[in-house]
Amino acid sequence: MNQEDFFNIFRTGRNRMEQAVAAGLSEGGDWCDLYFEYTVYNDLLLKDGEVNDGGYNEDFGVGIRVLDGDRTGYAYSESTELKDMLAAAKAASSIACRTASGCKASVIQAGTVGRHRESCSGMNGVSTARDSLYATGKTWDNVQHAMFLPFLKRIDSSVRSKDGSIVRVMVHFADYQSYVMMFNSLGELVVDSRPMCSITVTAVFSRNGKTENSTASWSHRCGAEMLSPELAERLACDVVKGIDARFEARRPKGGEMPVVMGAGASGILLHEAMGHAFEADFNRKGQSIFSDRIGRRICRQGISIVDDGTIPGNRGAVNHDDEGVPGQKTYMVEDGILTSYLHDRISASFYGVSPTGNGRRESFRFNPIPRMRATYMEAGDACPEDIIGSVRHGIFVDEFSNGQVKIGEGDFTFYVKSGYLIENGRLTAPVKDINVIGNGPEALSRITAVGNDLKIDDGTWTCGKEQNVPVSVGIPTVLVSSLVVGGE
């Protein structure tokens, strides 16, 4: 798709966008950007063996942001007619007006504002996706969804064939196609067409009066060509995997002990406990436990933590972020040293660095803020079996869910969805429904081994910091020498 296609979708053109930007800056702000979005969401739900529920939703509008130093004025319109855009721009412009009417001076020194708000599109004014990270055959709004019914039924029958104790199977299929056009007061124009497909399979099992449930999910920025019989089979296998252990699983005796985090999904701990504290808005406000630690060692040599928006097809991939900055790979921790926060344009300006492509938003209804993309720890050189073998008494965690962190204190808690006791270097009894609790910087400093088996999980991870955005997580097998484990 080219620029004209996007002008047609949004029924606008460069001249009208320039007028809206001018209205946004009419009160004296130093930056204005427009974010046009048209998204079509589809979903299908299989329950009780039938795909008997579904629908779609379409959302259309333009968000207009005005920055005055590091202050934000934001408004949006569900119409892209010029008069409606001008009204929204005028509303957003009031942030500059507020300063003029007597608010205290900005903490940013005069002269630095806008210094780093230089061209970021890399395309000299107009940017379409270069080599798109999520090229698709047909966009999701142009496929016949009837073709997916056999796929969902295939998953259902495959799941049921694998375990006789299954009493319910639910398959939720969701996709969207989002057309995005961004224009800013530097005259930069960026367009992007973003696909997403997510499948979540839930099964409920009943054995001898006991009930257990299990969920498997898969999500990629891709087209329908990725939906294969192999994928259906993989999801079916994933949802029944480990169910015997879950029925047997017990809560272990709690206490402080070594915790081995399995490769892949347990990377959510990295996202919650460390990643959020690296987001520059928390640091700009001095609220993060990592504030003022740039350039300092925060964990052992050899450990690198990355936030990457450039993995093709990944749920967190972005050709451009939602401020028009190209997607990129950002090292937050390199060889144990804190090297960068995750920046949007505001925080980049504040810190005097270039934006890192982390300015993201849920939709045109929200202003962008620093958000993660695909966050992972790079692989080390330890063999996973050796890591487990080095632990005399501890737990191995397959998968966490529902983590939470207090950004200021760094304290985190994670629910262990599934795992095993480690006794004398071997995985023994399955454990479940427990929590691990700790402190982000402390936990980082207690990582004593990093496996050579980095795995990026492809589940339907969604980060909910103020707004929901798709992300992904990853980690190799990692040993944390000591964390508190809640148990009996």
Task: State both tokens at 64.
Answer: 């207009």
Q: Which is nearer to other proteins, 221 or 371 (CB)?
A: 371
Task: State both tokens at 408.
Answer: 């200021």
Q: How many other C-beta atoms are found inside a 10 Å radius of the C-beta of residue 446? A: 18
Q: Which is nearer to other proteins, 161 or 206 (CB)?
A: 206
Q: Could you identify the residue written with the tokens 């045109």? A: 364
Task: State both tokens at 430.
Answer: 């399955």
Residue 125 sits at the vertex; the CA angle it makes with 117 and 359, to the nearest 5 degrees, is 45
Give the separation between CA 217 and CA 198, rounded to whole angstroms.
Answer: 7
What is the nearest approach in angstroms of other proteins to the Cβ of residue 380? 26
Q: Which is nearer to other proteins, 10 or 183 (CB)?
A: 10
Task: State both tokens at 70.
Answer: 């590091």
Q: Which is nearer to other proteins, 197 or 273 (CB)?
A: 273
E strands in 255-407: 255-261, 305-308, 329-334, 337-338, 359-360, 369-370, 374-377, 393-405
Task: State both tokens at 32.
Answer: 């204005």
What is the nearest approach in angstroms of other proteins to the Cβ of residue 434? 5
Q: Which is nearer to other proteins, 265 or 485 (CB)?
A: 485
Q: Which is nearer to other proteins, 53 or 118 (CB)?
A: 53
What is the nearest approach in angstroms of other proteins to the Cβ of residue 396? 17
Q: How many residues does the chain have?
A: 488
Residues 6+ apart with CB under 8 A from 199: 155, 171, 172, 173, 174, 217, 218, 219, 231, 235, 460
Q: Which is nearer to other proteins, 130 or 147 (CB)?
A: 147
What is the nearest approach in angstroms of other proteins to the Cβ of residue 246? 10
C-alpha to C-alpha distances, 157 to 46, 64, 65, 207, 447, nearest whole angstrom? 11, 48, 49, 20, 42
Q: Which is nearer to other proteins, 184 or 367 (CB)?
A: 367
What is the nearest approach in angstroms of other proteins to the Cβ of residue 59? 6
Residue 376 sits at the vertex; the CA angle it makes with 373 and 382, to the nearest 5 degrees, is 170
What is the nearest approach in angstroms of other proteins to the Cβ of residue 415? 4
What is the nearest approach in angstroms of other proteins to the Cβ of residue 364? 10
Paired strand residues for 337: 297, 334
Give the separation between CA 35 and CA 194, rounded to whole angstroms.
Answer: 14
Q: Which is nearer to other proteins, 214 or 314 (CB)?
A: 214
What is the nearest approach in angstroms of other proteins to the Cβ of residue 73? 5
The helix, strand and coil proportions of the chain, stated in percent and rounded to the nearest 5, come to 25, 40, 35
What is the nearest approach in angstroms of other proteins to the Cβ of residue 311? 27
What is the nearest approach in angstroms of other proteins to the Cβ of residue 291? 8
Q: Which is nearer to other proteins, 95 or 191 (CB)?
A: 95
Helix (H) or strand (E) run with residue 454 in it: none
What is the nearest approach in angstroms of other proteins to the Cβ of residue 409? 6
Q: Which is nearer to other proteins, 8 or 206 (CB)?
A: 206
Q: Which is nearer to other proteins, 161 or 402 (CB)?
A: 402
Q: What residue type is assigned to position 272 of the chain? A: E
Q: How many other C-beta atoms are found inside a 10 Å radius of the C-beta of residue 290? A: 24
- Burial of residue 250 (CB within 10 Å: 0-12, 13-18, 19+) is middle
Give the separation between CA 56 and CA 52, rounded to whole angstroms.
Answer: 14
C-alpha to C-alpha distances, 454 to 94, 177, 264, nearest whole angstrom? 48, 30, 7
Give the separation between CA 322 and CA 192, rounded to whole angstroms.
Answer: 10
What is the nearest approach in angstroms of other proteins to the Cβ of residue 276? 13
**Contact criterion met (CB below 8 Å) for 134 and 197:** no
